[in-house]
Copies of this chain bind each other. A is one copy, B any other.
Amino acid sequence: MIWLTGLSSAGKGTIGKELLRHLQTSGHQAELLDGEKLRQGLCKGLSFSEADRNENVRRIGFVAELLAKHGIIAIVAVISPYRAARDEIRHLIEPFIEVYVNASIEVCEARDVKSLYRQARLGELRGFTGIDDPYEPPLAPEVECRTDSESIEECVQKILNKLGLYFRNDHG
């Protein structure tokens, strides 16, 4: 499974969609689990507290494991700010490719795709990652994408290259 972590507006969703397209085009079964889809179906009612964010990650891990068991590559694109919660999933699913979708908070805030940073700055949103809630970057991610300096296509290629190693191993 591929786990995209990073700040809001860092580009997780965009990379996830492109990655899904590439994998499907090359004949793989894959599924994108992004924050929005999950908040509706799986994680309705969860708050932004540390406990609830981690519960969110745990449920996603359960679903991803189920998909992986049936040969479906799960692409997860959620902020998932806590290192320990991500590491829990790492120990659950093999191979686990953690992708740090990294752009500076300034760049993310300038993009502000969903106007969430604006709301957080105005105090309309509390517990917003990067503003008044922590983000713990991965210490040794399998891939790091610098979306403030690399193109989406470059980022996707880096992930596909890493994934390729596993596919080759699969077939001896």
A34 proximal to B (CB < 8 A): no
Interface residue? A67 (CB, 8 A) = yes
Q: Does A125 reach chain B (CB closer than 8 Å)? A: no
Assess whether A62 is interfacial by the CB under 8 Å rule.
yes
* Contact B44–A55 (Cβ < 8 Å): yes
Task: Determine if A105 is an interface residue (Cβ-Cβ < 8 Å).
Answer: no
A98 within 8 A of B: no
Residue ID in chain B nearest A74 by CB atoms: B66
Evaluate contact between B67 and A29: CB separation under 8 angstroms. Answer: no
Inter-subunit contact A62/B42 (CB<8 Å): yes
Instruction: Write the nearest CB–CB distance from A68 to chain B, whole angstroms.
Output: 12
User: Is B72 a contact of A31 with CB atoms below 8 Å?
Assistant: no
Contact residues, A53-67 vs B (CB, 8 A): 55, 58-59, 61-63, 65-67
**Nearest CB of chain B from residue A38's CB, rounded to whole Å:** 9
Complex-state Cα separation, A76 to B35, whole angstroms: 25
Question: What is the interface of chain A, defined by CB distance below 8 A to chain B?
Answer: 29, 31, 41-42, 44-45, 55, 58-59, 61-63, 65-67, 69-70, 72
Q: Provide 22 A-B residue pairs closer than 8 Å at the C-beta atoms, listed in order of the A residue.
A: A29-B70, A31-B66, A31-B69, A31-B70, A41-B58, A41-B59, A41-B61, A41-B62, A42-B59, A42-B62, A42-B63, A44-B55, A44-B58, A45-B55, A59-B59, A63-B63, A63-B66, A66-B67, A67-B67, A67-B70, A70-B70, A70-B72
